[in-house]
Chains A and B, each alone.
Chain A
Amino acid sequence: MEENKTRILICDDSSLIRKQLKDLLINMNCEVVEAVNGKEVVEIYQEAQPDVVFMDIVMPEADGLEALKKIKEYDLEAKVVMLSSIGTSTKLIQALKSGAMDFIQKPYTAEQISKVISNIRQVPIASSL
């Protein structure tokens, strides 16, 4: 992993969302790893130790809520931003109660993603210390 780059883990079963979000984050000088479902994301989180996770809610294998709980069990300080096409869903509220840092309604804008990255970069990042 490259030093001084913000490490991002994208988890979405849609290859379109993963590709377009990855392209955007690379332009923001981030290093990106991907997961395609709620089961894989927990394993990859432990390996990659990302600074932030962008995660879909409705996914195969395990959904975003289950994955969030497992990530939080492993790392209470994990920063997870939920991506959802329903901005009012009860699942989204549950996600925030379970410790999600924020949520963004799909389709997201570059500005929304950029804001999250700026906020992350304002606090000391373990990988860049």
Chain B
Amino acid sequence: MFNQHFGQYLLNEKKITSEQLVEVMEYERSARIKLGVLAINAGFMTAEQVENVHHLQRVKDKRFGELAVEQGYITYAQLEDLLENQHCRHLGLSQVIVDKGYLSLAQLEEVLASYKGDTQQTGEEIDRMDFDEAARKLLDFSSEGAQGEVYQDYIALLQRNIVRFLDVAPLIGKNENVGAINNQWLIYQRIAGEINLFTGLAMNDEALLEIARKYSGEELTEIDALAKDSVAEFLNMVNGIFCVNASNQGMELDLQLQKVVQDQMPALEKGYRIPIALTLGKIDVIVAVGE
């Protein structure tokens, strides 16, 4: 969860692009976390000191930790502490971002410091966060009252099901006004009853095909009825669970037919668009009052 949360932070702060983020998320699980990134994260060394040790490694056949101690940047106890933490996965994303050259060590040092200042939470604490908390922290529907709570619950449920069925690491961005649909497919479904909710997934051709393939397990090669129905069925399944959850709280809801349109946005009273970056492509989740 730390990697997802930190990735979202980088995206929101425009430190990296969504394309770069999707790319690094593919590699973060296999990344070997190096002592330099660990030392910066722990506050034991500055980016400049890490760069200096890297420079020394070009002229001396010595390990990073050994040189860092020799230079007086860290103590042996701190080195042991870093080595013990080398297996922790929560810095995988930071390591890949540096390895790919999307941020320099100095930029990483700066952004990690501002991130920690903004969130007031450690990586370990964020690792324990669930999607409900993550959505609640990032999304702002405060002007919507009770409907805002519905949106929060819906986005958290959708994220959980994306993890279950599509992609292990969805990265959610901040909500914005819904706007227009250009060069995109929109798969949508209304939920009606005590709660009226419009739900939609907007995406381009590539993302639709990738998501359809992943969810259906079918060998799809073009955007045909089967591909469109596959994404529509994913949305229908999520919405079905939403209705069951509502029913458990005493609210009876019904689903209307799913629809798939291109470059069209149904008239909505007020809606929001929430970007989610997946390794399968970028999607925008649309939520609005359903009537």
Contacts and interface: CB of A to CB of B under 8 A. Distances in A.
A-B interaction = yes
Interface of A: 13-17, 19-20, 58-60, 84-91, 105-107
Given A13-B257, A85-B255, A88-B244, A19 B218 contact: yes
B232 interface: yes
Interface residues of B, number: 23
B225 interface: yes
Nearest to B240: A85
B209 to A, nearest CB: 14
A56 to B, nearest CB: 10
B240 A15 contact: no
A57 to B, nearest CB: 9
B237 A107 contact: yes
B242 to A, nearest CB: 9
Contact of A90 (B229, B237, B252): B252
Interface in B164-217: 216
Contacts of A17: 229, 233
A49 B248 CA distance: 38
B6 to A, nearest CB: 33
Contacts of A91: 254
Contacts of A59: 257
Find the residue from B225, B233, B244 having the highest chain A CB count within 10 A. B233
Nearest to A13: B257
Nearest to A91: B254
Given A85-B239, A106-B236, 11 more contacts: A14-B229, A14-B236, A15-B229, A16-B233, A17-B229, A19-B218, A85-B240, A86-B244, A89-B254, A107-B233, A107-B237
B230 A16 contact: yes
B259 to A, nearest CB: 10
Contacts of A86: 240, 243-244, 247, 253-255
A59 to B, nearest CB: 7
B256 interface: yes
B226 interface: yes
A13 B230 CA distance: 12
Contacts of B232: 14
Find the residue from A14, A17, A59, A87 having the highest chain B CB count within 10 A. A14
A84 B240 contact: yes
Contacts of A20: 216, 218
A20 B219 CA distance: 12
B257 A60 contact: yes
Contacts of B240: 84-87, 105-106
A16 B253 CA distance: 24
Going nearest first, the 10 A-B pairs with the smallest beta carbon separation are A85-B240, A88-B247, A16-B229, A86-B243, A14-B229, A15-B229, A15-B225, A16-B230, A15-B226, A86-B240
A87 B244 contact: yes
A84 B248 CA distance: 17
Contacts of A87: 240, 244
Interface in B255-290: 255-257
24 contacts: A14-B233, A14-B236, A15-B229, A16-B233, A17-B229, A19-B226, A20-B216, A58-B254, A58-B256, A58-B257, A59-B257, A84-B240, A85-B236, A85-B240, A85-B241, A85-B255, A87-B240, A88-B243, A89-B247, A90-B252, A90-B254, A106-B233, A106-B236, A106-B237
